[in-house]
Structure 1
Amino acid sequence: MNRLSFHFLVTYNTKVFFYVFVLLWAACEGKIKLPENIKVPAIFAFGDSIVDQGNNNGIKTLIKSNFKPYGKDFEGGVSTGRFGNGKTPPDLIAEELGITELIPAYLDPNLKLEDLKKGVSFASGGSGYVPETAKLASVISLSDQLELFKEYIGKLKGAVGEEETNNILTNSIHLVVAGSDDLANTYFTLGVSKFYDINSYTDLMVSSASSFIQEIYKLGARRIAVFSIPPIGCLPAQRTLAGGGVRMCVENYNQAAQLVNSKFSSEFDSLAEKLPQSKVVFIDIYNPLLDLIQMPQNYGFEVADRGCCGTGNIEVVILCNKYSGTCPDDTKYLFWDSYHPTEKGYRVLVDEILQNYVNRFI
């Protein structure tokens, strides 16, 4: 494996963030109780590996996780292509809202009609807002995810009719989770910084993200949750690659994430006002995740600077495999591999963030 491929594998996913979204309302006995007039029939997801439920399984790319030890704590210990040890944010959101237990990948060959009605993920691990990011990883770009969404809508109309399809699209939650790979891989690792300054590049990210949100709005999405970039400089792999001998958080990476987040916030607030009947909500996961990384003991974790898989410093996707070994107890770890949280990590983050967004989609 050449140096470029190695760097890509260990930096590709900075997305750790995600966990976030069961963030919609307050939970009661494990299930979120919505007002009787509020219905959320389905969950849809677009973006990168945080919400990829297995779409990368059937495409030619190195960015896959359909092998052990991924899925160690999933139902039956099956490696489904989810980038973690168990359930991921789309599953947790659907579970808490009482929709269904699992959200499948749209490209799952075993997809059923009932799945279509309750939501699917179009996301692809390694993708990003900037088109070059998906090309680099040989994964499904956001523009291609949009085409899959259109195809899905056609199938749903054929199954339940146009009126019910419109009802599902209007009232469902559409998760958009991307941008980490644009910074960690395309900008910092592959030298795009030689051609763009960080201000220009983050402008490009914001423009691409805004266009995508407007496109899914045109197709019927109204409740749209857009997640911020996490503190990518504090992810285990980034600490290893650029944090020096003591693996400190990489400050310029975090500063880049904060810059694009500030631009995202302004742009999405503007979209929410411009798009009639829309609820475009920008969700800050940067600060909650940073707090969890800096003070893991406050949340019941013992290890937050490395993952459970292998040494935890560098292993991700094919570097985290059946020969890598795993930690004795992944419930003590915030991260499963060097990029993605454990299922427990996702759940804790969800609970932490819920209170800040309890009424935004009602």
Structure 2
Amino acid sequence: MDNTAIKVLVVLVSLWISYVQAIQSGRFSAVLAFGDSILDTGNNNLLMTVSRSNFIPYGRDFSHHVPTGRFGNGRVLSDLVGVKELLPAFRSPFLKSSELSTGVCFAFGGSGLDKFTASIQNVIWVQDQVNDFQRYIEKLNAQVGDPAQVKQIIANAVILISAGNNDLGITYFSTPAKSTRYTIQAYTDLLIGWKTTFINSLYDLGARKFAVLGTMPLGCLPGARQLLGNLICLPNVNYGARVYNEKVANLVNQYSQRLPDGKFVYIDMYNSLLEVIQNPTQYGFTTARPCCCSVMTPIPCLFSGGHVFWDFAHPSEKAYKTILPKILNTIQSNLA
């Protein structure tokens, strides 16, 4: 056996041992993230869009203070629920083949289930992220060299989905063309239809373990609250988020009943984050105002750890970590 063959064998054995250890310990082989900026780890960096964050002060609390394209001061939710410290962006030119087997991020900041949402910001539509997933599978097959093992890696990966925040917060409540044409019930029905198509596409490609996030309390985001002088959350926007989240939770339940070989869980982002927003001091924060990048905070704060939000719409790394235990417990209890 020549040196090349030995090296290939070593890589295959190493990947298989990692996979078996993950199964035995109740962990997951990989995390594959789809959707919007809550999960995006840098896919927008090479796009011609204003929805980018690969510049200072973003990434201020990241390793070496480098802005990576994550919409926050440090790591984002998809990093924190992963099997490794950082979840690389699939479209990153620096992505290493060795990273593929433990997961990547396909999410794009500003994206949504409604194609219009992505088009107005010139980012990749959620449904088109399936195309990247297909390319990922091809690359993973080339890296691993064993289709059966690749199938197992994907089937045991946590499929993390965050989609709907921008559709409601930007497209529906900020675009008269949508809100005058559709009631919130009708528009959220459309979103659920698109989400169903998306999940079906991932399932058909071998995904089996889905953690589907509801939207955040959109009316309580700093960008929404500033419309009323930061006094109260926007009740109509929060109502729309609750309507949508209830339908998402029902959809996840339907999938659990209809596809017994798959596992599906709904992640309640709305109430988890709302509790922190309404009671910041109880969770070690000083304020629910943003640290930076907002009309309320044109000059970045000195200590981001005291803020629930980093900017006008995105939680700080500490806020993600605060709600993380409940999220991880929900995923572990339902998908392991």
TM-score (normalised: structure 1): 0.83
Q: Quick check: 1:170–1:222 contact (8 Å CA) kept in 2?
A: yes
Q: Quick check: 1:307–1:313 contact (8 Å CA) kept in 2?
A: no
1: distance between equivalents of 2:86 and 2:156?
A: 19
1: distance between equivalents of 2:88 and 2:246?
A: 32
Q: Given the alignment, which residue of 273, 290, 294 partners 1:307?
A: 290
Within the alignment, does 1:235 sit opposite 2:221 as a pair? yes
> What's the counterpart of residue 272 of structure 1?
256
Deviation at 1:342, TM superposition (A): 0.9
Q: How does 1:69-80 map to 2 (within 5 A)?
A: 69-80=57-68
User: Aligned letter for 1:245?
Assistant: G
2: distance between equivalents of 1:125 and 1:68?
A: 17
Q: Quick check: 2:265–2:330 contact (8 Å CA) kept in 1?
A: no
Q: Given the alignment, which residue of 167, 170, 179 partners 1:182?
A: 167
Q: Given the alignment, which residue of 47, 50, 55 partners 2:43?
A: 55
Deviation at 1:271, TM superposition (A): 1.1
> What's the counterpart of residue 241 of structure 2?
257
Deviation at 1:246, TM superposition (A): 4.9
CA 358–144 in structure 1, closer or farther in 2 if over 3 Å, else same: closer
TM-score (normalised: structure 2): 0.90
**CA deviation digits over 1:327-360, x for unaligned, max 9?**
1111111111111111111101102444455411
Q: How does 1:334-353 map to 2 (within 5 A)?
A: 334-353=308-327
Q: How does 1:1-362 map to 2 (within 5 A)?
A: 36=24, 38-94=26-82, 99-160=83-144, 161-191=146-176, 192-241=178-227, 244-304=228-288, 306-310=289-293, 312-313=294-295, 324-362=298-336
1: distance between equivalents of 2:121 and 2:285?
A: 32
Deviation at 1:132, TM superposition (A): 1.0
Q: Which runs of 5+ in 2 are unaligned?
A: 1-20
Q: Quick check: 2:212–2:265 contact (8 Å CA) kept in 1?
A: yes
Aligned sequence identity (%): 41
Greater radius of gyration (CA): 2
1: distance between equivalents of 2:193 and 2:215?
A: 15
**CA deviation digits over 1:148-178, x for unaligned, max 9?**
1001101111221211110110111110001
Q: Report 1 or 2 for greater relative contact order, CA contacts < 8 Å, sequence distance ≥ 6.
A: 1
Q: Quick check: 1:44–1:173 contact (8 Å CA) kept in 2?
A: yes
CA root-mean-square deviation: 1.7
- Structure with bigger helix share is 2
Q: Matched residue of 1:71: which SS?
A: coil
Deviation at 1:129, TM superposition (A): 1.0
**CA deviation digits over 1:203-262, x for unaligned, max 9?**
001111111111101101111100011110000000113xx2353100000000001111
1: distance between equivalents of 2:323 and 2:143?
A: 36
Q: Which runs of 5+ in 1 are unaligned?
A: 1-32, 316-323
1: distance between equivalents of 2:150 and 2:22?
A: 21
CA 352–171 in structure 1, closer or farther in 2 if over 3 Å, else same: closer
Q: Matched residue of 1:276: which SS?
A: coil
Q: Quick check: 2:41–2:107 contact (8 Å CA) kept in 1?
A: yes
Q: Matched residue of 1:69: which SS?
A: coil
CA 57–115 in structure 1, closer or farther in 2 if over 3 Å, else same: same
Q: Matched residue of 2:127: which SS?
A: helix
